Each structure stands twice: as structure tokens, then as C-alpha cells.
Chains A and B, each alone.
Chain A
Amino acid sequence: MSDNIDGGGNGALSTMTLDGEDVGFTPGETVYEVSERYRREIPTLCYDERLEPFGGCRLCIVEVEGSHNPVASCTTKAAPGMKVTTKSGRLDMHRRVLLELVASENRDLDVDPMSGYASGEMATLLDRYDARTGRFLGMQSGTSHPDDPNPFILRDYENCISCFRCVRVCAEQEGDYAISVMNRGFGTQITTEFDGILKDSACTFCGQCIQTCPTGALADLKALASKDVPGETKLTRTICPYCGVGCSVDLMTRGDQVVGVLPAMDGPANHGALCVKGQFAFDFIGHKDRLDTPLVRGDDGQLHPATWDDALDKAAAGLLAAVDNHGRHSLYVVASGRAPTEAAYMMQKFVRAGLGTSYIDNCSRA
């Protein structure tokens, strides 16, 4: 869209060579993006398409004719006439060594898939590149924070590979800047201000760090707590019920119990983003205090279970009586912010055309 400034001119397609095949690209695209479009399987660990390319894991290296060393495809812009090789013995060798290296610094290579959306990325690559060799053993990196008492986010940095996706998603996607990088080299550690607990930081517990973590070092404590719930985990695409944004989520259920929420990376409204409510606040679904039938207040002043027809008749009668007794402008209606746009529209139509007043508002605004 806006990246057509350098090179090929106004949206014109330029061409480069990908593994011997001539392919088109839009100026501004990276070699990685072009390769993805042409179904090349380039491994990555520090890459999240929603974030600025970082160039840390070096797994996405490709060979470019005329360049002595392989280059990171995520940070290299495609150029007209560029000749790129995405797969070779040399690249495979380096990728395997890099994977053996990250495997050598972690306590666990396989984590519970309930840990988070991307939590299996590293293990999948270790298998693909046959990198569970036990080579390069030595000290392990990272110090976990078992003392962080928050109920949402597990901070198990002994399984961290310092890809900084969590730090970057927090800054670039959320704008929270709650977490950062402490120390350097092998002593690198994901931290918060003054190495404290999340509650004392700028963290909003949106859970984005969990969902982008490729090793499960940051994990969804609520989903992990469901391990004793029997049954297969089933995913159901739906819309978060909390506000009108309409974030897509995949509800994780076992039997009839919701055990967790995964953000939908392809959700048109959220591109994988969620807030603390959409991510973690689903306990109400099965809560014992939740209403499962309409209640109507009787002459005794108490609430009694009723049918929908009875309840709606009662409400309609009350509204009509108010108009009759006090005029149409005696009513003021607030639509719920949890309702989608379509429902909010219906509500204002009902208020304006049905009740005859313009006193309509929405709690997201009021």
C-alpha cells in the first residue's frame, strides 16, 4: 500500500529469482514475505508477522547471489534481479546448529500445548531439522519467576530462548512497554521495571506475550490448570462477547467446559490481539451465579423464574406505562457495550421508532 516508494514505481510488480523461479514482488516486501507467498518453508523463531522484523534467531537465513554470507530474509528487502536460494545443504547445516544451540539452553523442549498459541514452534522445528541431538550442552540460560503471584501468566524463563517476541509485542502491538530486556549475552533475561512482578509493572495482562512465545516459557496459567478436565480439546471460532470491537477468538473446550481462549491470528478486527477480559475472563460462563432463565419480580418483591414471553410482556408493559404516565421523553436507554454494532443499531431503532424518544446512548460512550 504505502511501500511503493523505492524501486519499481507505483505499485508496479518487480521480479526476482527464488530458487531458480522468477517471482514477482511489491517493492518494500522482504525476502521472507516473498518466500512465504510462494510457499517456501523458511523456519523462524523470532518472527511474528505482526511485528517489525528483528533478525535475532537467524533461522530465516537465505543465500543471495553475490553475498558472501547468508542473510536474514526477514530483514532483507527484496530487490529487482535478486537471486535467492531458500534451501541448501549449507543453510540446513546452519539452521540445524542454531536449533541445537537453542535446545541446549532450555530445561524442556516439549511443553503442554495449552501453554499458548505459538508454544510448540520450537519443538516442531527441532523435529523438522532433526536437532534433538544433545550437542552443544552447557549451562542453561534464564531465571524463572515462580514467585510472581499473578493468576494468568506463567513466567518460566528457564525455557526462554531470548527471541524478544514478548518484549516486542508488548511495545509494538500493545503500547504497554511493561517488559524489557535485562543484562546481555548469555545472561540476557526478560524482565519488568526493576525486575519485579507483573502486577507492579505496566502490564495489563492482555496475554499477548503468552500467545507469541515460541517455547511456552510464558504460558497461559488458566488453560494449563485445566489439565485434569477430561476429553479432547476442541476449538470453536467465535466472537469475544465483551465489547463491540468484535475480536475473533477460538474457544478451547473440553466436553461442555470452556478451558481457555486463543486469539484468532486471522481475526479481521483484532489480528490476534486481545485484552485481559477476552483472554482470561471466561469464568462467568460456567459460574453458579450465572442466570440461566429470565427472572420477574413478583408482588412479594422477590425475583421468580419466568418464561421469556412472560418476562418480555412484563418489560413491554412497564415501558408503555412509563410513556403513558410520564411522556415518551421520560425514558433513557443505554445499550450495552458488549453488544455488537448490529445489536446497537437495533436498539436505537427500537428506541427512536418504537418508544419515540431520541434518548439513546451506549455504555462505551456514556
Chain B
Amino acid sequence: MNPSDLETMTLQQLRATRRSFFSAEWMLALQDADAATKASAAQQMLAVNHVIVVMENKELSDIRDQLIANEAPLIAGAQSLTQALQDLSKVQGVLTAVSGFLGIVSRIVPLISNV
């Protein structure tokens, strides 16, 4: 079992344990317990919940860090696209091509119209 699978399995077990602390069976079992036992049960529940949140935070922060590492090319891509849009808006390059096309048309049309 690799470390990732082990973490996943541990987290699953902790989550199941936390849920069981909220079951009717657990509450009834603790009903007649002495104060020290109840305090110990409460501390254990807090500890289980703490570990769950810490492990979940670690899982999420690992992914977040990788996402942030992916930002530079995304930002560069967005800037490149925005620049391309501005270039298209200026239509200079495209107009040059159209102008060239029309130049060809203007040379061919007299030949056609002479027919």
C-alpha cells in the first residue's frame, strides 16, 4: 500500500469514527458513564475531528500549491490572447491581406469584363 492509499484509508476510518460519535448508540452508552469517562470521550472526539480537518487541509493545500504553480503559463496565455484580440481589432494585418486580394481582383476583372 502506498502512502497516499494509507492516508486515504486512515481518513476514511477517522471520518467513520467521528460519525459514530454522533450515533444514538454512542450517546446511550455514555449516558451513565462517570464525568472522567465523558471528558475523555469528548477529548477523543475533538482530537479525531482535529486530525480529520488537518489531513483534509493538507490534501487541499497540496493541490492548491500545484494549481498556483500552474498560474504563470495561464496568465501568459490570457495576455497573449488579449494581445491577439487587440491585433485583430486593429485589423491592420488582415486588411493588408484583403488589400492584396483586391489588387489581384483589380487586375483580373478587366480581363473578364472584356469578354
Q: Report if A and B associate in a common complex.
A: no
A residues with a Cβ closer than 8 A to B are none
B residues with a Cβ closer than 8 A to A are none
